[in-house]
Amino acid sequence: MGRVTDLEDLPLRADLRGLKPYGAPQAPLPVALNVNENTHPVPEEVADDILDSIAIALREVNRYPDREFTELREGFADYLGHGLTRDQIWAANGSNEVLQHVLQAFAGPGRTAFGFAPTYSMYPLLARGTGAEWIAGTREHDYTLVAETAAAQVADAAPDVVFLCAPNNPTGTPLRLDVIEAVYDATDGIVVVDEAYQEFAPRDEQSALTLLPERPRLVVSRTMSKAFAFAGARVGYLAADPAVIDALRLVRLPYHLSALTQAAASAALRHAPVMLGTVDEIVAERDRISATLAALGYTPHESWTNFVLFSGVDDPASTWQALYDRGILIRDVGIPHSLRVTAGTAEESTAFLEALASIGSAA
């Protein structure tokens, strides 16, 4: 048999041909601000407890883990509040797997998933990977959503699953609760509100968790990757009606959350106030970046996240490369004349701003 050298030589699913995998650049640069990580390390006292918990779990690693990850679900319910119980909580290896479970249960071949572009690039990839058709709606010129027009688009598309990124990635745009309510009322499908960056929003702003009562088709997803500085641990979770949780059990792999993952995440949750201690600093850096970008002649967009999308970039590709050559990695998300940067530590943010000022490429 000859050597297979190309995807075209394989019996790949027809609907996957021509697609590209998720591909955020990875490079060992001194300042990496391209994938919205929390660049602050896990506090030592928390890391010590996590290590102790993992060590205990290792003693029984010859056995399968708790399939229902009971302790972890209780921990997430306590953290989220709003009267939630463990029966309303689900978790998986990162929020992407959580969303994949939702699509496997409620979308799939012959069904559709919908989101308002530009939004998180993994939504269409996850949809197509599960065999669902992806439908892209549109946003206002400033990337916001208006309740009436958003609901009209959803009603017209009649999707099986709707994704609402709140706040939105890659633009950072806030999402008001009236939009969520209107979209929910406009469909008979599942509505997923992705709150991956919710901890960076103003503290007096309500979460979509407040809308869960009496809305059995509403799902609110979260992640430990951002505010919890836990990206490498790969832990995501959601809150929903217990019937939704039962549906997700039908599609998850057996024992999908390892004992080590459960131990590490439960330990981190026990130290939630400490783990979230960097949020205020990150928000301050985000706002400093936005103010400085404006002073440099760029247009930063309103952000309730840990990153800033800024437009007015004459040539995003050359600006990205110039920053790369200076040891700064940010993200070209494909929006014309725009780039996105994560708010890092004070030192990292300063390094980015100084490097950008030295380039001087505002349109």
DSSP type of residue 339: E
Q: What radius of gyration, in Å, describes the C-alpha atoms of the chain?
A: 21
Q: What fold, for 24-42+277-359?
A: Aspartate Aminotransferase, domain 1 (3.90.1150)
What digits encode the pLDDT tens for the residues 34-93?
A: 999 999 999 999 999 999 999 999 999 999 999 999 999 999 999 999 999 999 999 999
pLDDT band at 362 (very low <50, low <70, confident <90, very high): low
pTM: 0.95
Tell me the pLDDT band of 19, cut-offs 50, 70 and 90.
confident
Helices (H), 66-218: 70-80, 95-106, 122-129, 147-157, 177-185
Q: List all residues 6 or more positions away from 276 whose beta carbon is below 8 Å from its beta carbon.
A: 199, 227, 228
How far is it, in rounded angstroms, from Cα 292 to Cα 250? Answer: 49
Residue 1 scores a pLDDT above 70: no
If one compares 177 and 23, the residue with the highest pLDDT of the two is: 177
Residue 218 CA to residue 220 CA, distance in Å, equals 7
Confidence of residue 142 (pLDDT cuts 50, 70, 90): very high
Mean predicted confidence (pLDDT) in 352-362: 87
Q: How much is the pLDDT for 331? A: 97
**How far apart (Å, rounded) are the C-alpha atoms in residues 20 and 10?**
16
Note the CATH architecture for domain 44-270: 3-Layer(aba) Sandwich (3.40)
Per DSSP, the chain holds a count of helices (H) and strands (E) of 12, 12
Residue 178 CB neighbour total at 10 angstroms: 14
Average pLDDT over residues 167-173: 98
Q: What percentage of the chain has pLDDT greater than the value 90?
A: 91
pLDDT at 361 over 80: no
**pLDDT score of 354 more than 90:** yes
Cis ω before 167 (30° cut-off from 0): yes
Provide mean pLDDT across the span 292-305.
Answer: 97
Query: What ranges do the domains of the chain cover?
Result: 24-42+277-359, 44-270
In this predicted structure, the answer to whether residue 363 has a pLDDT above a threshold of 60 is: no
CB atoms inside a 10 Å sphere around CB 54:
17
User: What is d(CA 39, CA 356) in angstroms, rounded to the nearest whole number?
Assistant: 19
- Residues 286, 306: Cα–Cα separation, whole Å: 6
Q: What is the distance between the alpha carbons of residues 341 and 308, in angstroms, rounded to a whole number?
A: 5
* pLDDT surpassing 70 at residue 2: no
